Amino acid sequence: MSAGLAAALVFSTVLGAGFAGADPAADPGLKRFHDTYKELVETNTTLSAGDCTLAATRMAARLKAAGYPDADIHVFSPPGHPKEGGVVAVLHGSDPGAKAILMLAHIDVVEARRADWTRDPFTLIEEDGYFYGRGTSDMKDQAAIWVDNMVRYREEGFHPRRSIKLALTCGEETNSALNGAGWLATHERDLIDAEFALTEGVDGVLDPSGRRIALEVLAAEKTSQNYVLEATNPGGHSSRPEPDNAIYHLVRAVDAVSRYTFPVQLDDANRGFFTGMAPIVGGEAGRAMLAVVKDPQDTAAVAILDRDTDWRAMLRTTCVATMLDAGHATNALPQRARANINCRIFPGVPWEEIQAQLVKIIDDPKVSVTIPEVRGPVAQPAPLSARVMTPIAQVAHDLWPGVPIVTALEPGASDAQFMNPAGIPTYGVSGIFIDPDGGHIHGLNERVRIQSVYEGRTFLYRLVKLYAGT
């Protein structure tokens, strides 16, 4: 994205303006969307007790009812994973030479225990201007909007130039689960092949009073990779200690990791973020953002940004100790000591490079650095072209004049980590403005503002139409 786009700061507008009248009781289209969303939230799709395939089948029924032929709707489940399925559907474009636009959403949700929640997590509850329930914000709101888009486009006889594809998948929320988007990219590539995909990642940002701060667009994600540090020793009786001790070696290694900070790296996504956020944040931090974009070696400016956990993570690879396991008896010298180091690797950097750096930092041949498994391919950023950014700016400017659009680099990871390496650039954009508390996603009492969801529906409906063209 251009700096000019990112820096288009004027003032923010209060949430709800122009949408204040949105009422499902008075708008049959909105009512139908509401029912779709409700059905998704109320279909449990946790890994432990839920069924993504059931949720996908229900969404497929809605597409069929809207007139999509069976040949254009594929409910699937990967072999051996009957409840971890999804659905892919297509609205055919008029130009067979033009690549499709893919609307991608995961429909699985993080575990939620009724006993821990104030309200039933699997009932869509509306209270004080919010939708409450597991998945209301991550990301059954956007999944329901995608289904609703498909239904609306069909209903109004929209003939796009490019095909519009929908993919609802499972397995995004649980690291050990089979990832549906990755499975499709490997096994059913034709079904989801596209010029680019849109999915979750970041949203619109509200301040505590509900004023819109910025609309974020996610274009790059880090790769999550675990490393195991391990020291071994013949051990012995603890009454006869010696300096060569597996726990001591390991602890020194972990300490060395804790003291190391990876160098700052810039790409289009975080450069766009800091350039765009500088005037919004203002003051010392705002000046530091501009200084770092200009010179990533400006250590004084970097130190200011490093005070913020989010900014610190967006600037570089990070590694942190997450688990320890050592010794076998209280009265024995340890034979083995092991630590898990979880690294979030900057887009485009191979895991071997970080492994080599860890070996160098630890500088102890008695401590091995290995990887238990390679979670996925190296995360590659999606290019921030005008083709992608201009329609976002166009629709956003129309709905929310003056609200700046800011690109972001996500320290976490979504399904984009499987799509980008497969050659389908994937962007996180929802147009759903969320509270500074993040809507408690993954936590208790997940929620999202009702008006935000309805606005996001309007935004994404118009955006995908623009991308698909006529």
Verify binding: residue 432, Zn ion, rule CB under 5 A: no
Rounded to the nearest 10 degrees, how much is the dihedral formed by the CA atoms of 328, 333, 336, 338?
90
Q: What's the min distance (Å) between Cβ of 261 and Zn ion? A: 29
* Closest distance to Zn ion from the beta carbon of 152 (Å): 23
Least Å distance, CB 219 to Zn ion, is: 17
Structure tokens at 367: 């401590």
* Smallest distance from Zn ion to CB 199, Å: 8
- Residue facing Zn ion at closest CB distance: 138
The nearest distance, CB 106 to Zn ion, in angstroms, is 6
Identity of the residue, 441 or 450, whose beta carbon is nearer to Zn ion in the bound complex: 441
Pinpoint the alpha helices (H) of 315-422.
351-362, 386-399, 416-419
CB of 326 to Zn ion, least distance (A): 35
Which stretches within 189-337 are classed as H helix? Answer: 189-192, 246-259, 268-281, 283-294, 299-305, 309-314
Provide, rounded to whole angstroms, the least separation between the CB of residue 217 and Zn ion: 16
User: How far is it, in rounded angstroms, from Cα 394 to Cα 7?
Assistant: 15
Q: How far is the CB of 230 from Zn ion (least distance, A)?
A: 33
Give the whole-angstrom CA distance, residue 359 versus residue 183: 33
**Of residues 72, 138, 148, 203, which one binds Zn ion by CB under 5 A?**
138
Q: Choose which of 139, 277, 388, 434 interacts with Zn ion (CB under 5 A).
A: 139
Q: How far is the CB of 203 from Zn ion (least distance, A)?
A: 11
263 or 412, CB closer to Zn ion? 412
Interaction residues for Zn ion, span 76-95 (CB under 5 A) = none
> Which CB atom, from 132 or from 400, has the smaller least distance to Zn ion?
132
Instruction: Tell me the β-bridge partners of 132.
Output: 125, 447
Of 19-27, 139-147, 153-161, 446-454: span binding Zn ion (CB under 5 A): 139-147
165 beta partners: 90, 102
- Of 197-205, 259-267, 270-278, 382-390, the segment contacting Zn ion by CB under 5 A is 197-205
Segment contacting Zn ion by CB under 5 A, of 157-165, 192-200, 320-328, 400-408: 192-200
- How many residues of this chain bind Zn ion (CB under 5 A)? 3
Q: DSSP class of residue 172?
A: S
Nearer to Zn ion, 446 or 455 (CB): 446
Q: How far is the CB of 197 from Zn ion (least distance, A)?
A: 14
Q: Which is nearer to Zn ion, 139 or 144 (CB)?
A: 139
> Using CB under 5 A, which of the segments 21-29, 35-43, 137-145, 293-301 binds Zn ion?
137-145
Find all residues with CB under 8 Å of 169, minimum gap 6, and list them: 52, 86, 104, 105, 106, 107, 179, 180, 181, 183, 184, 415
Asked if 414 and 371 touch (Cβ cutoff 8 Å), the reply is no
Write the DSSP assignment of 278-315 as a string of letters. HHHH-HHHHHHHHHHHH-TT-HHHHHHHTTSHHHHHHT
For Zn ion, give the closer residue by CB, 241 or 412: 412
Phi and psi of 20, rounded to 5°? -60, -30
Between residues 202 and 367, which has the closer beta carbon with respect to Zn ion?
202
Closest to Zn ion by CB, 139 or 464: 139
Cα(284)–Cα(305) distance, integer angstroms? 9
CA distance 453 to 35: 13
Angle (CA) 303-289-270 rounded to 5° is 105
Segment lying near Zn ion (by CB under 5 A), choices 131-139, 141-149, 334-342, 351-359: 131-139
How remote is the C-alpha of 216 from its chain's centroid? 12
Binding residues vs Zn ion (CB under 5 A): 138-139, 200
